[in-house]
Structure formats: C-alpha cells, structure tokens
Chains A and B, each alone.
Chain A
Amino acid sequence: QSALTQPASVSGSPGQSITISCTGMSSDVGGYNHVSWYQQDPGKAPKLMIYDVSNRPSGVSNRLSGSKSGNTASLTISGLQAEDGGDYYCSSYTSSSTLVFGGGTKLTVL
C-alpha cells in the first residue's frame, strides 16, 4: 500500500487561507469517504482535526474544512493563526480494510 501524496510544505501569513492536498487512488481516497486529517506538534501525538472528509470533532475550530474530489482530498484552513502551524497528515481507509497515511505536510505560519 503506497502512502498518500501530500506536499512537503505549505506556508501562509496570519489571516490568509491555505489548502493542503492529499492524493490517493480509487482504492482508498477515491473509493471511500473515510478520509481524516491530523495535526501533530513536535514531540506530541497526532490530533484528529477532520474525519469522514469534512466533519470536525468537537472542539476543532470551524476555520478548518475538508473536501474531496475524485482521488484527491483537501484540507483548507482559513484565517491562519500562529497556533495552526505544525505537521498535517491525511489518512484514508482502503479497499484492503487497512489504513494509509500521507507523507505529511509542514505548515509554516509566516
């Protein structure tokens, strides 16, 4: 199972919007609506930010939104804040009943 493809890095200034893409195949991202996004700070455990493509767990800012088109899912963060910085990972359920993660994207708030 190959990892999902994410850009290595993304950056934006406070107040701006950024989008992180996550590209897979029809056997994972394209075939299921079980795409999740995680934020990870250095030395910490990942934190779930988006699940089932576009749903936010309780307590997650509504500045984060998720979407999917074909084999590519996207995470958009609007009104960037310093606290949004960190590493972001997407994940997807697969046709083999396994999970696959993306390689991760480092978000820098300038």
Chain B
Amino acid sequence: EVQLVESGGGLVKPGGSLRLSCAASGFTFSSYSVNWVRQAPGKGLEWVSSISSSSTYIYYADSVKGRFTISRDNARNSLYLQMNSLRAEDTAVYYCASSLSPTHPETPGYWGQGTLVTVSS
C-alpha cells in the first residue's frame, strides 16, 4: 500500500524558515516524480513544486520561486521542502503527492495526509 507521511509543519514567524519532510513507503519511490501541493485555510489547492525521479527536473510555482527548495533522498525514500523567507500567505496545509506511476509524472496520484504550516507573529 502506498503511504506518504508528511512532517515538520508548525508555527513560524514571518521571515523564518521551516523544513518539511515526506516519508514514502509501499512503492519504488526512486522511480516516481513527487510534488508539494498546498491548501490555505478554506481555499483551494495550489501546486508548489515538483521533482523528477532522479532530481534532474525541478520546477516551482512563481509564488515560491527563490524562497523554497525541493529535494529528495531516494536512499531514504524521502522528499523535502526547505522553506525560507516565509510569509503569512504561505500559511497552509502542505501535501506531499507522488505521481500516479513512473509513466505518469504529470499526475499526482497518491497523497499524504498533509502537515500544517502557520506563519504568524
């Protein structure tokens, strides 16, 4: 069974930093692209970033470019999101979502339960 478990969320002051982690199990993590998707309280889904299976291709939403860094460690079956210069508008539940299959890198098929990041003074 595919499992994605996010951690690292919490309360941080504006301008601060936070590192999110996502532990994957139940599938060959190293063969799948993975995404971070966030959802502000009461709002819709917003794609944040994606990383290909071997980290060759990395993309970011304009809203986080230059502040967030996505990375992965295939040996540890883990995905990360380093978030710097955090703003109030970054407050959201952050979901880790793997692609549906190695041949569907553009489709987030499996999702974790999310971790809440709150940016407030």
Contact = CB atoms under 8 A, between A and B. Distances in A.
B47 A45 contact: no
B113 interface: yes
A101 B110 CA distance: 16
B106 A34 contact: yes
Q: In terms of DSSP, what is the predominant structure of the interface of chain B? A: strand
Which size class do B's interface residues fall under? 20 to 34
Closest A-B pairs by Cβ, 9 of them = A45-B111, A93-B106, A99-B47, A104-B44, A101-B45, A34-B106, A51-B107, A103-B44, A48-B109
Interface string B60-92: 011000000000000000000000000000000
Interface in A1-21: 1, 3
Given A1-B62, A46-B95, A89 B45 contact: yes
A27 to B, nearest CB: 14
Contact of B107 (A1, A48, A101): A48
Given A45-B114, A48-B109, A91-B108, A57 B100 contact: yes
Interface in B94-121: 95, 97, 100, 104, 106-114
A30 to B, nearest CB: 15
Nearest to B114: A45
Interface in B16-73: 35, 37, 44-47, 50, 57, 59, 61-62
24 contacts: A1-B61, A32-B106, A34-B107, A36-B107, A38-B45, A40-B45, A48-B108, A48-B110, A51-B104, A52-B104, A52-B107, A57-B109, A89-B45, A91-B45, A93-B106, A96-B59, A99-B35, A99-B37, A99-B108, A100-B47, A101-B46, A101-B47, A102-B44, A104-B44
B111 A51 contact: no
A35 to B, nearest CB: 9
